[in-house]
Amino acid sequence: MTSNNHPYHLVNYSPWPLTGSIGAMTMTTGLTLLFFNKQLYLMMLGNLIILLTMFQWWRDISRESTYQGLHNSLVIKGMKISMILFIISEIMFFISFFWAFFHSSLSPTVEIGMKWPPKGIFTFDPIQIPLLNTMILLTSGMTVTWAHHSLIFNKYKKTMISLIMTVTLGVVFTMLQTYEYLESKFTISDSVYGSCFFMATGFHGIHVIIGTMFLLICLMRHLNNHFSKNHHYGFEAASWYWHFVDIVWLMLYIMIYWWGS
């Protein structure tokens, strides 16, 4: 009963999709409560449920792939295809924001003064924090590639150092973007420019946070010797995601920060 007559991995029953859904519902309900009543407790509870779900779900998947041997070559091939499709769906997601931005900027209406940026909007200087963040993300793309090559050539210490550098750069990027938001002279409700700017850069910031957590888990797994030169799909997926985040930021910098301002 313990052996499989097929090469596929049939996932065991798991409570984590349910607890994750409950956490997401609690967090979004709490976010609404925060907006209208300035109360944090429900959103913090939702975040706690999501974090606990993530930790236990990652633990189960790490156990499946590392210790139980359920992620064979055919399973990994399927997961690679699914990751590629997921990244394509994320590309379509950001294209919608760029579409909205160019639709509004190339033909500004009378309601925004028939000019772009709209009248009264003081945009960010693209040579200051945005350029610094661009250099940080490009450097992190180099360090994650260094980590990948080090892992392939069994360089344990170099993989660890380069992963630590990548995670650190991701955290620094998020801190700088938070500072930039706090210093902003316009808000998300200031015309279509504010809406497009904060939606596009805000969702990218969320993706950076997710990618940083993804790489941090990979670093923890690497320290526990979960990866080998032939079996490290978890890290490979994280590096693909991080390169996607890099490319989206380059598009954001060129189109919104530089050209759009």
Residue 3: is its pLDDT beyond 70?
no
Q: What angle do CA 126, 89, 21 make, to 5 degrees?
A: 105
Q: What angle do CA 87, 49, 173 make, to 5 degrees?
A: 50
Locate 166 and state its tokens. 């990548």
Three-state secondary structure readout of 59-97: HHHHHHHHCCCCCCHHHHHHHHHHHHHHHHHHHHHHHHH
Residue 4: is its pLDDT beyond 80?
no
Q: Which pLDDT tens digit goes with each residue over 131-172? A: 999 999 999 999 999 999 999 999 999 999 999 999 999 999
**65 with 71: CB under 8 angstroms?**
yes
Residue 224, judged by CB atoms within 10 A of its CB (0-12, 13-18, 19+), counts as exposed
* Confidence label for 190 from pLDDT (cuts 50, 70 and 90): confident
DSSP 126: T
What whole-number percentage of the chain has pLDDT above 70?
A: 98
Residue 56 one-letter amino acid = Q
What does the domain layout of the chain look like in residue ranges?
1-70, 72-259
Mention every residue, 6+ apart, whose C-beta is less than 8 A from residue 244: 87, 90, 91
Residue 1: is its pLDDT beyond 50?
no
pTM for the predicted model, two decimal places = 0.88
- Nearest-angstrom CA–CA distance, 261 and 116: 8
CATH topology of domain 72-259: Four Helix Bundle (Hemerythrin (Met), subunit A) (1.20.120)
Q: Which pLDDT score, from 0 to 100, does residue 69 have?
A: 82
**143 with 169: CB under 8 angstroms?**
yes
Locate 26 and state its tokens. 């609690």
**49 with 23: CB under 8 angstroms?**
yes
1-11: average pLDDT:
70
Tell me the three state secondary structure of residue 256: helix
**157 with 131: CB under 8 angstroms?**
no
Smallest CA-to-CA distance from 119 within 39, 189, 191 is with 191
Residue 107: is its pLDDT beyond 50?
yes
Domain 1-70 annotated CATH 1.20.1250.20: no
Give DSSP secondary structure letters for 186-249. Answer: S-TTSHHHHHHHHHHHHHHHHHHHHHHHHHHHHHHHHHTT---SS--HHHHHHHHHHHHHHHHH
The reply to whether domains 1-70 and 72-259 share a CATH topology is no
Q: Which pLDDT tens digit goes with each residue over 214-224? A: 999 999 999 99
- Nearest-angstrom CA–CA distance, 148 and 118: 44
Q: Which pLDDT tens digit goes with each residue over 192-242? A: 899 999 999 999 999 999 999 999 999 999 999 999 888 899 999 999 999
Across the chain, mean pLDDT equals 91
**How many other C-beta atoms can be found within 10 angstroms of the C-beta atom of residue 139?**
16
Mention every residue, 6+ apart, whose C-beta is less than 8 A from residue 39: 30, 33
